[in-house]
Chain A
Amino acid sequence: MIENLIDVALLVFLVILAITIVRIRDLFAAGMMFAIYSLLSSALFAVLDAGDVALTEAAVGAGISTLLVLACLALVRRYEHPTGGHNLIALIVVLITGALLVYATLDLPEFGAADNPAQVHVGPFYIENTYPDMGIPNMVAAVLASYRSIDTMGEVFVVFAAALAVYALLSVRPHKNMPGVRRRPVKRLKSPRQAEADPPVAGKEQAP
């Protein structure tokens, strides 16, 4: 019961943070809010008995994702362009989807009950056999690296493909002859001193 109330308090904080992230115009502040959001959700995972997930979310969600957003903000404008009011169609779509999902939750099993379908079918096999099979006490690590190691290898391929995509996207500097590239304002991408030194020929020199 007390555990449930802690969950609910954390979830209320998460909802408040999510509303702030959606509404705020300052992208730097939104990035910081997102770091707090990830940290709070990792606290929620810890309360929900998911130790490994909490550690990973704290390191990856709060750490690396925030770093990526900050690195991106160094290259783009800090403030989001204001749009007029709410998007009514989007709001209606979101509300209808949410109402359908709430209707679907009425069929879900009660939270945390020991005889839920998820707890009686495959889960006990790993709880019983991890130590005899692998000899390590951490079931999550055993499933991740041994029982389902092929899945983890696929995940590594996904990360490799993403790294390759990021490299491909950022290694090519745009120039005027590329299709779809218009004359971009060079001044914003350079430091003021650099732009002062060579303002007109900067774009020309970058073209290979």
Chain B
Amino acid sequence: MTLLGISHYWFVIVLMMLGFYCVIARGNMIKKIMGLNLFQTSVFILFVAAGKVIDGSTPILRDGVEVYANPLPHVIVLTAIVVGVAITATGLALAVRIQEAYGTIEDDHLGDDVDGDDD
């Protein structure tokens, strides 16, 4: 196995771990949702990379093409992209609601007294 044959997976892992770090270490809720999206996109890349065939082609039937990429991972990723947007919308709506109720979307400041807040 060559390094190029495995490097995609390692890049995906780096992206995934950056998203994971963003979700657990950042206090801002919009940042957390962005981290979730980073994680999610890295999973999409992993799935699409699993369906890739070298010297293959986009899975649309046409003359003169013999090798196609595997269409099944693409279908799953299409579904996941739409579900991801649904998650993003719900999470951002929650963030807006928390901002309305608490005056902040930072984890560490949710317990603060609103009157004493200097921002």
Contact = CB atoms under 8 A, between A and B. Distances in A.
Contacts of B11: 8, 11-12, 14-15
B81 A170 contact: no
A11 B18 CA distance: 13
A117 B53 CA distance: 12
Interface in A133-178: 137-140, 143-144, 148, 151-152, 155, 158-159, 161-163, 165-166, 169-170, 173-174, 178
Interface residues of A, number: 103
Count chain A CB atoms within 10 A of each CB in B77, B115, B117 and give the residue with the most. B77
A158 B19 CA distance: 23
Interface in B2-59: 2, 4-11, 13-22, 24-28, 30-31, 33-35, 37-38, 41, 44-45, 48-54, 56-59
Contacts of A105: 6, 9-10, 13
Contact of A112 (B52, B81, B95): B52
B25 A91 contact: yes
A182 B61 contact: no
Contact of B117 (A38, A159, A185): A185
Contacts of A162: 86-87, 89-90
Contacts of A106: 6
A181 B101 contact: yes
A197 interface: no
A36 interface: no
Contacts of A207: none
A199 interface: no
Q: At the interface, is chain A mostly helix, strand, loop or mixed?
A: helix
A184 interface: yes
Nearest to B38: A18
A35 B5 CA distance: 29
A198 to B, nearest CB: 19
B103 A15 contact: no
B19 A18 contact: yes
Interface string A82-121: 0100110011011101100110011010111110101100
A188 B86 CA distance: 28
A75 interface: yes
B78 A140 contact: yes
A151 B80 CA distance: 11
Interface of B: 1-2, 4-11, 13-22, 24-28, 30-31, 33-35, 37-38, 41, 44-45, 48-54, 56-62, 67-75, 77-79, 81-90, 92-97, 99-106, 108-109, 114-115, 117, 119
20 contacts: A11-B8, A27-B30, A30-B34, A41-B41, A50-B48, A51-B60, A56-B78, A69-B34, A76-B95, A80-B31, A81-B108, A101-B17, A111-B7, A131-B61, A140-B74, A155-B82, A162-B87, A165-B90, A170-B96, A183-B115
